Structure 1
Amino acid sequence: MTEQLRAYVNARLLDPASGLDQTGTVLIDGNKIVDTGPHLFPNGPPPNVQVIDCKGYCLAPGLIDMRVHLPEPGGEQKESFETASAAAAAGGVTSLICLPDTDPAIDNVSVIEFIARRARETNIVKIYAYGAITRGLEGTELTEFGILSEAGALAFTDATRAIADTLVMRRVLSYASTFDLLIVQHPEEPRLARNGQMTEGEIATRLGLAGIPAVAEVMMLERDLRLVEL
């Protein structure tokens, strides 16, 4: 039996895939979108359609958050799969990728499998994981990229820790290219950024906060771009 039709009117329709950005209506039958457009009901919706006025708010495909600190395992008292998933769904995020700065870090298959299992149990939004670039996020010994990728790691990063050692980073890029994997670097020269709390400048001085020179980001990016060319 067909459920009541619902029309979301006066919505800002966004679709990055097609470049759509316009005011219009989305017509839904049950859980399926059956029509969209700026002029679906020029004479007004029929009586069998439930109308929801979006008042200019956005309607778009589910958002993807690619940088989520989800501390489970090891920090469930701060955030759990249940609380993170509920918050994500409330904000329109339907997929998220959690950083590997858990305890233990996501540097072996067992932690990847744990995350996949918890994501299935929670079953609110899609949850994926980054694999750690280095064991324990310590910036020295590389993890098994190929094995972690096969287990489900979408890409590799050491979260908010930059790979400071240039030789290690060269090995990272070379190893990743073998498997055609994505590396997500935190672009910040750690010695320049040490103990910094915000970008260096007048506001940091006025607030009495330790500043981070903007060049700390540029230096790391320049180094890594040079390494890619090798």
Structure 2
Amino acid sequence: MTVQSEIERHTRELVKMAPSGLFYALHFRFALPLMHYHSYPRDWTDRYTERAYALRDPVILWGFGNSGTARWSDIELPDPENIIGQAREFGMNYGFVVATGSIKSRTIASAARADREFTQSEITQFAETIETMHRLVEPPGSLSAAQIEALALIAGGDRHAAAAAKLGISESALKARLAAARTNLKARTTVEAIQRARNYKLL
């Protein structure tokens, strides 16, 4: 099973746990997450995006400043835009936030429902799934310069023979570099490796 299919499976599990919607942002790096998803109501998402609430959302701010979990009702951070209050207009009356990972590669997630507070066991189950997803897409520390060169040439459209010639190595040596890059990136194919390297800002 590929990393992508594993993430999709876990996402389906999370959706079942969050009747009024959820979001996750896995591994914030360079101010953007490597992977993200949300299922909040469309009208709320439009308002949230248009007003750039992510910059002032106490749920997100809590996630960057803390690790673990917290119910929205327990977050004691300023909310001058009344973002949590506005969310209730869209059936998001109760929720919680999950934050994990180092500050250089932070994962933040949240879930909502309309009818009641989430139980601690529900929060724990959701948080454990997020932690699993965080580990699944853990970016590699780095690729070697040789692996990056090989991936970059293939990404640029060169075939194996042409790429090997440009690098002054044999085609089998090129394939070995590509295989090593795939392993480091937990990718099944070279195309997937190239995409993941781009997502991780390694290419």
TM-score, structure 2 normalization: 0.27
Task: Tell me: higher relative CO, structure 1 or 2? Use CA pairs within 8 A at least 6 residues apart.
Answer: 2
- More strand per residue: 1
TM-score, structure 1 normalization: 0.25
Query: Which is higher, the Rg of structure 1 or of structure 2?
Result: 1
- More helix per residue: 2
